[in-house]
Amino acid sequence: MKVIHIPYCYWPDAVGGTEIYVDSLAREQRRQGLDVMIAAPGTHSKEYAHNEIPVRRFGVAETVRDVQELYGEGDLQAAAEFGNILDEEHPDLVHLHALSRGASLRVVREAKRRGIPVVFNYHTPTVTCQRGTLLRWGSEVCDGNLDVTECTRCTLHGHGLNKIPSLIAGSMPSSVGRVLGSMQFSGGAWTVARMTELVRVRHNMVRSLMDEVDHIVALCQWVKDVLVRNNVPEAKITVSQQGLDPWTDASESLRRKPAGSIRIAFLGRLDATKGVHILINAIAQNPHLDVLLDVFGVAQGDAGDRYLRHLRTLAEGDHRVKFQPPIPSSDVISRLRNYDVLAVPSQWLETGPRVILEAFAAGVPVVGSNLGGIAELVTDGVNGLLVEPDSVAAWGGALHSICDAPRLLPALRLGIRTPRKVSAVADEILGIYNCLAHCGNLAEKAIATA
């Protein structure tokens, strides 16, 4: 069986958790005997290999003619170039791991036009949430229901509009946006006026994607709940949590006794949704906390650079906070062994994150936001602590608990269970592939046999 995986981007570009997942899964699938390759959007077409897996990039048009292109079915050029890849590679199945202008519904339709089944992995809340966090008004967990009015209001608020203007603009008929779009008005106030129509276009595209792909992989339970709430058949969804490549035994970490300052690590992308500012503020407001925080952050683009400068300003003069270069993904588990705690202060609904599994593989407890996939992996008081996400005081209290209760960390380390391996993930995914190859659409089969 030949499979093409489509992530958001790929090495040597700056990559995130989705690309690490795809790389790990692809290598495991190759060990299973599958013929695997990567096709990823890029600035132009090219071919190379990464970790001995063939990679083909397909170009996305540089120019966006209208803002609606960012909300709709995807880039025509990217879809056409991906169609050429399909004609040259003749895969048996396409596995889509992203939803963007380049990795789009049009790409799915290129595969379906050729009779090739498509599996879709839901990796981040940006798939169904235009705000990108699945937090209504940025603070409360949303049920994820695709409602044009409510989603428009929340999206505008997420773009910096105050709540009352967001409520007003979100009530604007979508027909107004269609008229303004036909007149090619966009940018600033025009985009605000068009937002109801833009969100309607996005919702229609998401619904079409969920209808047209053959199966959906949800990386955690909250994803399945959101999809079912939006009328995706349960039989079309498989919950499959992430797994790790084989690692060394964590027993030596469990035997390690903390000495001196409590060592805390943060690993991940530098973005406000990752909440590092909450963590640094919690440390700054508690000057007597005996902790050392190392931030292993990845700054992507201008926004990442700006956020890093903001974090450095927050930590200025505090010797307890240090900014370190990113850790290669292959070294994360071994490096985490040098720490007492992993901090995951995310301000959005994660579908993992993978770094929690890596911490558990290293025998390191996690202090994380009580949200989404974090709360599905961390059991409060057993293998870590769950904290109110955006409360600096709550994060300060959690850090005080770790520092002031010498028996807490050893107890949390003993509560850690070995995370599952990527081979288990690959087995589940292979089961989906085989059923699609031999049984057709899983949801249709379930209905037929009911």
In a domain, 135, yes or no: no
Is 183 within the bounds of a domain?
A: no
Same-domain check for residues 67 and 94: yes
Q: In one letter, which amino acid is 278?
A: I
* Sign of the Cα pseudo-torsion (393, 399, 402, 405, in order): negative
Host H or E run for residue 16 = none
Tokens 């202008």 appear where? 101
Partner residues linked to 91 by β-bridges: none
Q: Which whole-number Å values give the CA distances from 302 to 12, 14, 306, 364, in the listed order? A: 18, 13, 6, 32
The Cα–Cα gap between 376 and 370 comes to 9
Question: Exposed, middle or buried, 255 (CB in 10 Å: 0-12/13-18/19+)?
Answer: exposed
Any domain includes 24 = yes
Q: What is the pLDDT of residue 174?
A: 76
**Alpha-carbon span 450 to 438, nearest angstrom:** 19
Q: What is the pLDDT of residue 260?
A: 84
CA 195 → CA 139, 153, 168, 186, distances in Å?
A: 21, 9, 12, 10
pLDDT at 39: 98
Please check whether residue 365 is in contact with residue 384, taking contact to mean a CB–CB distance below 8 angstroms: yes
Whether residue 322 sits in one domain with residue 279: yes
Instruction: Tell me: do 290 and 314 sit in the same domain.
Output: yes
Are residues 274 and 225 both part of a single domain? no
Query: What is the pLDDT, as a whole number, of residue 449?
Result: 43
Spell out a b/e string for 407-440, using b for 16 or more CB atoms within 10 Å of the CB, else e.
eebeebbeebeebebbebbbeebbebbebbeeee
269: tokens are 């992308």
Q: How far apart are CA 350 and CA 309, in angstroms?
A: 24
Phi and psi angles of residue 378, each rounded to the nearest 5 degrees, phi first: -100, 125
pTM of the model: 0.90
- What is the rounded distance in angstroms from the CA atom of residue 116 to the CA atom of residue 51? 26
Amino acid 168: pLDDT: 86
What is the per-residue pLDDT for 93?
A: 98
Judged by DSSP in three states, 332 sits in helix
- Together in a domain, 256 and 238: no
Number of H helices, E strands in the chain: 18, 16
Predicted pLDDT at 182: 59
Statement to judge: residues 261 and 311 lie in one domain? yes
How many CB atoms sit inside 10 A of residue 19's CB?
Answer: 24
Alpha helices in 14-158 (DSSP H): 17-31, 76-89, 105-113, 148-158
Nearest C-alpha neighbor of 202 from the set 285, 289, 128:
128
Q: 3-state SS string over 38-62?
A: EEEEECCCEEEEECCEEEEEEECCC
Query: Which CATH number fits the domain that encloses residue 11?
Result: 3.40.50.2000
Residue 231 and residue 259 in one domain: no
Tell me, yes or no, whether 399 lies in a domain: yes
Tokens of 30: 């190759």
Task: Check: CB of residue 314 under 8 Å from CB of residue 288.
Answer: no
- Quote the domain boundaries for residue 405: 251-414
In this structure, are 115 and 264 located in the same domain?
A: no
Shared-domain flag, residues 221 and 85: yes
Q: How far apart are CA 383 and CA 389, in angstroms?
A: 18
CB-based contact 325:296 (threshold 8 Å)? yes
- Angle, alpha carbons 196-198-201 (nearest 5°): 110
167 lies in a domain?
Answer: no
Does residue 268 form part of some domain? yes
Do 275 and 377 reside in the same domain of the chain? yes
Assess if residue 445 is contained within a domain. yes
- Mark whether 23 and 114 lie in a shared domain: yes
Q: Are residues 266 and 309 in the same domain?
A: yes
Looking at the structure of the chain, the number of domains it has is 2
Q: Which helix (H) or strand (E) holds 203?
A: helix 189-212
Neighbours of 330 (CB within 10 A): 9
Q: How far apart are CA 85 and CA 98, in angstroms?
A: 18
Residue 95 covered by a domain:
yes
> Residue-wise pLDDT tens for the chain (450 aa)?
999 999 999 999 988 899 999 999 999 999 999 999 999 999 999 999 999 999 999 999 999 988 888 999 999 999 999 999 999 999 999 999 999 999 999 999 999 999 999 999 999 999 999 999 999 999 899 999 999 999 999 999 999 999 998 998 888 877 766 655 555 556 677 678 889 999 999 999 999 999 999 999 999 999 999 999 999 999 999 999 999 987 544 445 444 545 689 999 999 999 999 999 999 999 999 999 999 999 999 998 899 999 999 999 999 999 999 999 999 888 999 999 999 999 999 999 999 899 999 999 999 999 999 999 999 999 999 999 999 999 999 999 999 999 999 999 999 999 999 999 999 999 999 999 999 988 765 555 544 444
State the CB neighbour count (10 A cutoff) for residue 130: 21
